[in-house]
Amino acid sequence: MEGPKIYGYIYGFPITQTLVNMWIIFAIVFVLCYVLTKNMEKIPRKTQVIAEVMIDSMDNLVGQTMGKDKMGFAPYMLALIMFLAVANTSGLYGLRSPTADLNVTVGLALMTFFMTQGFGLKSKGIGGYLKSFLQPMPFLLPINIIGELANPVSLSFRLFGNMLGGLIIMSLLYSGLAGLIYLPLVIPIPFHFYFDIFAGLLQSFIFVMLSMVFVSMAMD
Amino acid sequence: MIDMTNVVDLVLEFLMQFDAKTLILAGSAIGAGLAMICGIGPGIGQGFAAGKGAEATGRNPKVMKDVISTMLLGAAVAETSGILALVVALILLFANPFVAMSASMWILSASAIACGLAMIAGIGPGIGQGFAAGKAAEGVGLRPELKGIVNRTMFLGQAVAQTTGIYALIIALILMYANPFVG
C-alpha cells in the first residue's frame, strides 16, 4: 500500500496523483454542469429536469437542516456534495480517490471550520461570539475550545479513514485476484458497490450534512 | 515461589534465540488476530438492529419494506468498524510494512501488536451505531412517512459515533506507515 504517486515538480511544488485526479474530477463536474444546464427552457427537457431535481432537493435539505434564513449556503453545499460524490466514487473508473489523501480532506474540513468561525462571528458579533465559548458555564472554556478544534480533525479523518479503508481493501483484493482469468471481472463487483457507491456516497452526504450542522449551529 | 525477574529473563532469553524477522511476523500474527476482536461490536449492534426491525415488522407488517431498508442501511454503517479492523488485519497479513523497516525488532513487533490492540476500539462504534440503527428501524415502524428524516438523523448520529473508531484506525496507520519510534 503506497501513497499517491508524485509525477513531477513545478517550481518545487509536487504534482501528485491526487492533484491530477482532482483536475480530472473538476473536469467531470464542469462537463456535467454544462451538459445539464445547457439550453434551459420554460418546459424542461430531460437534462434540465435532472439539474432542477438536484437543486430542488439541495434547497430542501438546506432549508430543513439550516433553516430558511440560511438558504444562501445551498449553492456551496451542492458544489461540495457534487465534488465529493464524484471524488469518492472515483474508484469505479480506476482513479485513486483524492479523498483518500489527508491533504484534501483536511483542506475541505478547514473550509468548513473557517466558515463556522467566520459566519458565527458575523451573525453573533464579537461579544456574542466570545461569549458562546463560556456557555453554559464559564469554567467550560477549555473544553469548548478543544471541542471546536476537534471538529475539523474528526471531520477530515472520518472521510479520509473511510475512503482509505475502502482503497486498501480494493487494492488488496485486486492484488489477490491478479493472475486469475475471469474471477477479477466478477468478484470485485459487490465490493465496488459497497466501498465505492454506498460508503462513498454516504460519506459525501455525511460530510456535507455535518458542515451544514456546524455552520448553522455556530450562527444560531 | 518463582522469582518474577527470573521468569522475565527466561522469556526474553527464549525470544532472543529467534531472529528479528520471526519475531516481527509473530507480532503481526497476534496483531491481526487482536484486530478482529473488534467484530464483537458490529455483531452486537447489528443484532440489536435486526431485533428492533423484527419487532417493528411484527407490530405492523404493512411497514415491513420501509423498516427493512432502514435496518439494512443502518446495519451497513454499523459494519464500518469491522471493515476498518479487517483492513488493518489484512495489511498485517498480506502487505506487512514492518518486515521492510529497520529498527529494533522489539519496537516493530510491539507496534504490530499495538495495531491490532488499537482496532479493538471499534467495538464501541459498532454497538453504538447498531443501537442507532435499531432505534431508527423502530421509529420508521411507528411512522413510516417520516422515513426520510429518521434515516438522515440516524446517519448523522452514526457518523459522529464512528469518530473514535476512525481515531483508532489513524493510530494503527501511523504505527504502520509513519512510525515515530523508527529511525
Using a CB-CB cut-off of 8 Å, the residues of chain B touching A201 are: none
In this prediction, residues B99-113 reach a mean pLDDT of 88
Band the pLDDT of B94: cuts 50, 70, 90.
Answer: confident
Instruction: Give the residue, A113 or B8, on which the prediction is more confident.
Output: A113
Choose the closest CB to B84 out of A161, A175, A213: A161
Domain count, chain B: 1
Residue B82 pLDDT more than 80? Answer: yes
Largest CA distance in chain B: 70
10 Å CB burial of residue A54 (0-12, 13-18, 19+) is middle
Instruction: State the smallest CA–CA distance between residue B130 and chain A in angstroms.
Output: 16
Residue type, A155: L
Using alpha carbons, select from A198, A211, A187 the residue that is nearest to residue A165.
Answer: A198
In this prediction, residues B108-119 reach a mean pLDDT of 93
**Do the domain assignments include residue B6?**
no
pLDDT reported for residue B14: 84
Strand partners, A8: A15
pLDDT digits (tens, 9 = 90+) for A21-52: 999 999 999 999 999 888 888 888 888 899 99
Band the pLDDT of B46: cuts 50, 70, 90.
Answer: very high
Band the pLDDT of B2: cuts 50, 70, 90.
Answer: low
In this prediction, residues B75-90 reach a mean pLDDT of 90
Cβ pairs A/B, distance under 8 A: 58
CA distance B175 to B182: 9
The residue whose grid cell reads 439550516 is A66
Residue from A102, A169, A210 to probe the interface with B (highest B Cβ count within 10 Å): A169
Tell me the ipTM for this assembly.
0.73
**Structural domain that includes position B119:** 21-177
Strand partners, A146: none
Q: DSSP 3-state assignment of A42?
A: coil
List per-residue pLDDT tens for chain A, 220 residues long.
Answer: 677 888 888 888 889 999 999 999 999 999 999 998 888 888 888 888 999 999 999 999 898 888 888 899 999 999 999 999 999 999 888 888 999 988 999 999 999 999 999 999 999 999 988 888 887 888 888 888 888 888 898 889 889 988 988 898 888 888 888 878 787 788 888 989 988 999 999 999 989 988 998 898 888 8
Using alpha carbons, select from A85, A97, A91 the residue that is nearest to residue A54.
Answer: A85
**Cβ proximity of B120 and A202 under 8 Å:** no
Residue B18 pLDDT more than 70? Answer: yes
List the beta strands (DSSP E) in chain A: 6-10, 13-16
**Cβ proximity of A62 and A70 under 8 Å:** yes
Residue B5 pLDDT more than 80? Answer: no
CB within 8 Å: B155 and A165: no
**Do the domain assignments include residue B51?**
yes
Domain ranges of chain A: 54-219
**Do the domain assignments include residue B8?**
no
Q: Which helix (H) or strand (E) holds A197?
A: none
Q: DSSP 3-state assignment of A136?
A: coil
Instruction: State the smallest CA–CA distance between residue B95 and chain A in angstroms.
Output: 7
Chain B: residue whose CA lies nearest to A200: B77
CA distance A154 to A159: 9
In this prediction, residues B28-33 reach a mean pLDDT of 95
Residue B107 pLDDT more than 80? Answer: yes
- Spatial neighbors of B23 by CB under 8 A, at least 6 apart, are B15, B105, B106, B108, B109
Using a CB-CB cut-off of 8 Å, the residues of chain B touching A154 are: 160, 163, 166-167
CA distance A147 to B153: 21
- Spatial neighbors of B62 by CB under 8 A, at least 6 apart, are none
Say if A63 is an interface residue toward chain B (CB within 8 Å): no
Instruction: State the smallest CA–CA distance between residue B20 and chain A in angstroms.
Output: 23
Residue from B87, B152, B174 to probe the interface with A (highest A Cβ count within 10 Å): B87
3-state secondary structure string, chain B? CCCHHHHHHHHHHHHHCCCHHHHHHHHHHHHHHHHHHHHHHHHHHHHHHHHHHHHHHHHCHHHHHHHHHHHHHHHHHHCHHHHHHHHHHHHHHHCCCCCCCCCCHHHHHHHHHHHHHHHHHHHHHHHHHHHHHHHHHHHHHHCHHHHHHHHHHHHHHHHHHCHHHHHHHHHHHHHHHCCCCCC
Say if B8 is an interface residue toward chain A (CB within 8 Å): no
CB within 8 Å: A168 and B90: yes
Say if A164 is an interface residue toward chain B (CB within 8 Å): yes
Instruction: State the smallest CA–CA distance between residue A58 and chain B in angstroms.
Output: 14
CB within 8 Å: B159 and A168: no
Q: Distance of CA B90 to CAs A97, A100, B110, Å?
A: 20, 18, 18
CB within 8 Å: B95 and A162: no
Instruction: State the smallest CA–CA distance between residue B88 and chain A in angstroms.
Output: 9
CB within 8 Å: A202 and B155: yes
- Spatial neighbors of B3 by CB under 8 A, at least 6 apart, are none
Residues 173-212 of A with CB under 8 A from B: 175-176, 194, 198-199, 202, 205-206, 209-210
CATH value at residue B90: 1.20.120.610
Band the pLDDT of B1: cuts 50, 70, 90.
Answer: low
pLDDT digits (tens, 9 = 90+) for A115-144: 999 999 999 999 988 888 887 888 888 888
Residues 138-157 of A with CB under 8 A from B: 154, 157
**Do the domain assignments include residue B53?**
yes
